[in-house]
């Protein structure tokens, strides 16, 4: 299909980052936006495929296989490859964490519905009649399915953080470090049990002392975004402890 496209069409639809000397700044940004958008849409498709149907496990298997491949390439010696892999991997993690938030809300809703169903029954009859209640059973099955999917996606996100983000934050090229810092807030702002994962704030604090200004600038912007969330202000005091 790519062979059938003219050089003009190919350049307009998918500008190549390896040949950008004559391109404007907006054109370079356009490529990055499209690159990030591609991985976001692809991840959403895999998650949607995993959400139900006969091919439920296929989406998660494809996603797991892709993550394994990306992780294996993340320490390549070529800087452009490491940068692209970092961007792709953390774009995927952003989409995964977004879905995790949705599932967390669904799980809380289902648990409230289960509690409501159980509270309507007499304590003496609850143990016997609740098992025969179709509505109650449906909620229990839904809770089990949502919990299982949430655990799998959280495991994917944690793997990407430990295998990609942590290591690329220490990369010897500032471009890669700056890219990794851009995605730190996604990991900080989600936890299955807490409102925020405060233990990850130290990475932002350390980035503020990076030798290169682009990394420091991205860290400061990330902290500024965190401070706009009023509920997180008490948590952000941890930054002073690690900065």
Task: Give the Cα separation of 141 and 157 in Å (integer).
Answer: 25
Length of the chain: 243
First-to-final CA distance of the chain: 51
Number of C-alpha atoms within 13 angstroms, CB side, residue 72? 6
Q: How far is it, in rounded angstroms, from Cα 215 to Cα 209?
A: 9
pLDDT number for residue 3: 39
Q: Residue 14: its pLDDT value, please? A: 37
Better-predicted residue by pLDDT, 1 or 214: 214
Q: What whole-number distance in Å separates Cα of residue 158 and Cα of residue 150?
A: 12
**Dist CA 89 CA 86 (whole Å):** 5
| pLDDT tens profile 114-168 | 888 777 665 545 455 445 678 878 888 888 888 998 999 999 999 999 999 999 9
Q: 54 to each of 51, 61, 65, 99, 196, how far by Cα in Å?
A: 10, 14, 19, 21, 35
Whether the predicted pLDDT of 240 surpasses 70 = no
pLDDT digit string (tens) for 181-233?
999 999 999 888 887 888 888 999 999 999 999 999 999 999 989 888 777 77
CA 70, CA 67: separation in Å to the nearest integer?
5
Rounded (to 5) percent helix, strand, coil in the chain: 75, 0, 25
CB atoms within 10 A of CB 84: 19
> Domain extents for the chain?
24-168
Q: pLDDT class for 238, splitting at 50, 70, 90?
A: low
Give the integer Cα–Cα distance in Å for 232 and 18: 40
Q: Do the beta carbons of residue 196 and residue 189 sit within 8 Å? A: yes
Instruction: Report which of residues 239 and 111 the model is more confident about.
Output: 111
pLDDT band at 235 (very low <50, low <70, confident <90, very high): confident
Tens of pLDDT, residue by residue over 10-35, are 333 333 444 445 555 555 557 888 99
Q: Hunting for tokens 């879905």 — which residue is that? A: 99
């Amino acid at each position: 299909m790519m062979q059938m496209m003219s050089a003009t069409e190919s350049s307009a639809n998918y500008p190549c980052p390896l040949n950008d000397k004559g391109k404007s700044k907006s054109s370079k940004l356009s490529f990055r936006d499209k690159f990030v958008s591609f991985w976001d849409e692809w991840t959403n498709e895999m998650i949607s495929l995993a959400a139900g149907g006969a091919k439920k496990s296929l989406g998660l298997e494809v996603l797991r296989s892709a993550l394994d491949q990306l992780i294996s390439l993340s320490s390549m010696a070529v800087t452009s490859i490491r940068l692209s892999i970092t961007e792709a991997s953390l774009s995927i993690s952003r989409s995964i964490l977004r879905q995790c938030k949705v599932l967390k809300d669904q799980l809380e809703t289902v648990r409230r519905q289960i509690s409501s169903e159980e509270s309507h029954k007499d304590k003496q009859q609850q143990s016997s009649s609740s098992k025969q209640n179709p509505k109650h059973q449906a909620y229990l099955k839904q809770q089990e399915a949502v919990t299982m999917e949430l655990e799998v996606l959280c495991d994917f996100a944690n793997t990407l953080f430990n295998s990609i983000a942590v290591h690329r934050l220490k990369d010897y090229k500032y471009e890669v470090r700056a890219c990794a810092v851009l995605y730190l807030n996604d990991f900080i702002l989600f936890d299955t049990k807490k409102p925020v994962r405060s233990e990850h704030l130290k990475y932002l604090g350390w980035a503020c002392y990076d030798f290169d200004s682009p990394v420091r600038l991205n860290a400061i912007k990330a902290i500024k975004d965190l401070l706009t969330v009023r509920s997180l202000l008490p948590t952000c005091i941890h930054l002073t402890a690690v900065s």
